[in-house]
A and B are shown apart, each in its own frame.
Chain A
Amino acid sequence: MPKIFLFVGGLILIGFGLFWVISLFFQRRCVENPVDVAVLIAVGTVSLVIGLREGVKP
């Protein structure tokens, strides 16, 4: 059960990354530091995968 937070945390991080990119896109600005966004989404994905593999199993 605690690993559901890895799953949830992963989704939130990916969501934040997307939010960042989309909001900058709507403001017609470039991502100033694309590495930050990439790291955020990558960490989110890893967290999601770990949460999926070990935590969220029926």
Chain B
Amino acid sequence: MPNLGSLVDLGITRARFVTTLVIIANAFTWYLVAFEILAHMVDTISITTHEITMIWTIHFGGVACAAFVGATLSSQLINRNNLLSLWMSLGVVSSLVPLIVVVDCTVSLVVFSLLLGVTFGLGMPSCMGYLADSTAIDKRGRVGGIIYFAIGIGTFLLWTILIPFFRLEVQSLILAIWRVFGLATFLVLKPKNSYAKVTKSPSYVAILRRKTLLFYLIPWIMFCLINSLTRPIYPPDVVRTSMIIGSIITGLFALVGGLLSDLVGRKQVVIAGFVMLGIGYAILGIFPENSVSQYLFTVVDSIAWGMFGAVFLMTLWGDLAEDMMPEKYYAIGGLPYLLSGFLDILITPYINMLVSPSTTFSFASFFLFLAVLPLLLAPETLPEKKIKERELRSYIEKAKKIKEKRG
């Protein structure tokens, strides 16, 4: 086993780590809280179901299109640092919209939701690309785990401080200040562009033709899909419990998952996550009313989310990009996570009427089993050479210690 010192070694300078942590955690926490505020606005204004669907379609369409455009711009036309600065400034402006304009009708909600989606999607691939270019492949998992942990804690804190106690205008102001903090940190630390080693940016078609990417992308899409389709039928107790305690366990296991993915490989951590979820869904399918199965499910779902967040969201796409620009890989890999919220909103009103919990959880378990099959064919993205090197280093250190003891 490697020693403790090597486990906490992140392999990047402190300034670089802080910049990476701040730009990603700031963006995701800002978006997740802004999304909840938007959802609250949509719920409180009296509009028809069709208008609600239109608002969310435009929002998620904006996220997806902006992510693809942003990835293309960053890798071909605009310097990444300039795009990130522009993106964060746009985030400040869009946060202030409810403060300046009264958002109280369908048209204003559509414009605000589009602005929010575009503001997040445009820079998301670039900030993730910044993570990939800042970290070595054998240290990326643990850095990703720390960032995902920070996103969870940051969102939890912002959410518990912002939503219950303040009016919409104050919430907007706090979000704008939070975004300004991200921008200020980025400008003060002035990171260098890290394109030196990068040679080219592949097309989206070329990326989607890569079998290795598909072997990881298909399970990730299936997980997001199953998670969205089953969420509306969780028993209310499970939802309440998993929101509070689950988020803490998710954060802790993001750290564990990130570290493990550097030690034993991404594939093994992801397979372990799917095995856990399969067991959780199967037991919940057999005993949907039993509180022990509900608690078990809360635990395995939180652990799996932590590990998948660290690996699927933060690490894997950077590994797959290898020496190419990672933006487009992150645009493709990040979308299932972002768009799963859309499916959740579309399906929620109908799923309870259509199927029983027992049937749905059994199907979920079966489809999770199917999702593992492409993973078994996928090659490990962490180079075997790195794992062997670490084992050898650990062995030498042990041998040195034994030699010192014997004098």
Residues of A within 8 A of B (CB): 4-5, 7-8, 11-12, 15-16, 18-19, 22-23, 26, 49, 52-53, 56-58
Contact = CB atoms under 8 A, between A and B. Distances in A.
Interface string B295-310: 1101110110000000
Given A8-B276, A18-B252, A19-B249, A58 B264 contact: yes
B148 interface: no
B328 interface: no
A22 B272 contact: no
Where chain B touches its partner, the secondary structure class is helix
Given A23-B245, A56-B264, A57-B264, A15 B299 contact: yes
Nearest first, the 8 A-B pairs at minimum CB distance are: A15-B299, A56-B268, A58-B265, A15-B303, A58-B380, A22-B245, A56-B264, A8-B275
Contact of A12 (B241, B276, B380): B276
B58 interface: no
Contacts of B245: 19, 22-23, 26
A23 B241 contact: yes
Given A12-B296, A16-B299, A56-B265, 20 more contacts: A4-B268, A5-B275, A7-B268, A7-B272, A8-B276, A8-B279, A11-B256, A11-B272, A15-B249, A15-B253, A15-B302, A15-B303, A18-B249, A19-B249, A52-B260, A52-B264, A57-B268, A58-B380, A58-B382, A58-B387
Given A15-B302, A58-B382, A4 B272 contact: yes
A53 B300 CA distance: 22
A16 B244 CA distance: 15
B264 A11 contact: no
Contacts of B248: 18, 22
Contacts of A53: 1
Contacts of B272: 4, 7-8, 11, 56
Contacts of A26: 244-245
A12 B271 CA distance: 14
A11 B303 contact: yes
13 contacts: A5-B275, A7-B268, A7-B272, A8-B272, A8-B275, A8-B276, A11-B272, A12-B276, A15-B302, A16-B295, A26-B244, A52-B260, A52-B263
A44 to B, nearest CB: 11
Contacts of A4: 268, 271-272, 275
Given A7-B272, A11-B276, A58 B384 contact: yes
B267 interface: yes
A18 to B, nearest CB: 6
Nearest to A52: B264
Contacts of B299: 12, 15-16, 19
A13 to B, nearest CB: 9
Contacts of A5: 275
Interface string B100-112: 0000000000000
B296 to A, nearest CB: 8
A49 B2 CA distance: 12
B252 A12 contact: no
Nearest to B274: A8
B308 to A, nearest CB: 13
